Amino acid sequence: MNLLSALFGAGVNARNAFYDRGALRARRLPGPTISVGNLSVGGAGKTPFVILLGELLQARGIAFDVLSRGYGRSSRGVAFVDPKGTPRDFGDEPLLIARRLGVPVVVGEDRYAAGLIAEQKFGPRMHLLDDGFQHRSLARDFDIVLINGDDVHDQLLPSGRLREPLASVRRADAVVLSSAVKPEDLPLNKQLVWRTKRDIVLRDPPPVPVAFCAIARPKQFFLQLRFAGCEPAAEASFRDHHAYTPSDVHDLLQLRQRCQGGGFITTEKDAINLGELKSQLQPLAVAPVKMELVDAPAALDRMLAVIAERQSRGQIA
């Protein structure tokens, strides 16, 4: 570990110690809060998991909202996401969640303030805290952390992608592992271990398309396309959360012409960030992520039981 990563880790550990010892206090919303987060910068599948968890709660008839910072938006303060809005207004991932789940999604730098405003409008209800593992200023009744294969061997920022040391998984109630991670790879204590299956859904892709995306781990998307039987004519990647421009569209069209591609294929998040520019990249297929939780009914039962017990005892995490 280099000096900068060591200094970063010392700062993270000090901050966590302040919360663990009560020197810094987390504020609590009236409704129960479930945090979904990870250890690294991007690419763990938090947004697909929030959507999956939301769908499971909806199947149980449980009312909830989603609280998000709204990364990448140009606006400030607390705002309710309009599903017809733009990433500039709300951020691409909150828009995707709002469109997929059809529930209130509230963005704000202060997630406690966002939750209070949501409860003022809808009354106390369950809150899903998107990307909340490091947002310790908001108390949570259940903490979920997603781990992928790269996290196990990665380093802290800035030399690596980890926002916290691997030992921080002990703070979670449930650890969601990708297929590349074994429980023995992690310093677990008594955390619940959940497994997910993650694939993409191909919906009439054009023949030999140009595949492009602006996500944290683009190689994973391109690999999933091949596993699903789609062999791209070419690949193009942009920085995560990239806001596409007419110049980008021109470059993609030129790439398609050079490689004689039959069209384009991209992710749901990229389709949102393209906005009206999508009409210039036809035929364009959008490949949504499909995530499944192994033994979902049992996992959900256990989570809700822990939340109910903590609510009855007034315990916060």
* pLDDT tens, position by position, 30-48: 999 999 999 999 778 999 9
pLDDT band with cut points at 50, 70 and 90 for residue 313:
confident
Domain containing 302 — which CATH number? 3.40.50.300
Is residue 100 pLDDT above 70, yes or no? yes
Q: Are residues 142 and 56 in the same domain?
A: yes
The Cβ of residue 178 has, within 10 Å, a number of other Cβ atoms equal to 17
Q: Are residues 34 and 161 in the same domain?
A: yes
208: tokens are 């030999």
Q: Are residues 149 and 297 in the same domain?
A: yes
Q: Are residues 7 and 114 in the same domain?
A: yes
Is residue 316 pLDDT above 70, yes or no? no
Q: Are residues 301 and 230 in the same domain?
A: no
- Positive or negative, the CA dihedral 6, 8, 10, 16 is negative
Domain count, the chain: 2
Phi/psi of residue 210, nearest 5 degrees: -80, 120
Largest CA distance in the chain: 65
Mean pLDDT of 174-195: 92
Domain containing 246 — which CATH number? 3.40.50
Distances (CA, A) of 257 to 208, 234, 236, 274, 306: 12, 11, 14, 20, 56
Is residue 314 pLDDT above 80, yes or no? no
**Which residues fall within 8 angstroms of residue 305, CB to CB, at 6 or more apart?**
none
Mean pLDDT of 56-66: 98
* pLDDT tens, position by position, 110-135: 999 999 999 999 998 999 999 999 99
Q: Are residues 302 and 275 in the same domain?
A: no
Q: Concatenate the DSSP letters of all residues of 248-310 into one string.
A: HHHHHHHHHHHHT-S-EEEEHHHHHHHGGGGGGS-SEEEE-EEEEETTHHHHHHHHHHHHHHH
Q: Are residues 280 and 304 in the same domain?
A: no
Q: Are residues 136 and 224 in the same domain?
A: no
Q: Are residues 36 and 152 in the same domain?
A: yes
Q: Are residues 265 and 144 in the same domain?
A: no
Cβ–Cβ < 8 Å for 36, 129: yes
Q: What is the pLDDT of residue 1?
A: 65
Cα(198)–Cα(213) distance, integer angstroms: 17
Cα(107)–Cα(316) distance, integer angstroms: 23
Phi/psi of residue 308, nearest 5 degrees: -60, -40
* Residues of the domain holding 149: 3-196+293-313
Cα(122)–Cα(29) distance, integer angstroms: 13
Is residue 181 pLDDT above 70, yes or no? yes
Q: Are residues 270 and 305 in the same domain?
A: no
Sheet holding 264-267, edge to edge: 234-237, 210-213, 264-267, 284-287
Mean pLDDT of 142-154: 94
Q: Are residues 183 and 115 in the same domain?
A: yes
Cβ–Cβ < 8 Å for 103, 66: yes
The Cβ of residue 251 has, within 10 Å, a number of other Cβ atoms equal to 13
Q: What is the pLDDT of residue 203?
A: 87
pLDDT band with cut points at 50, 70 and 90 for residue 179:
confident
SS3 state at 208: coil
Cβ–Cβ < 8 Å for 206, 285: yes
SS3 state at 181: coil
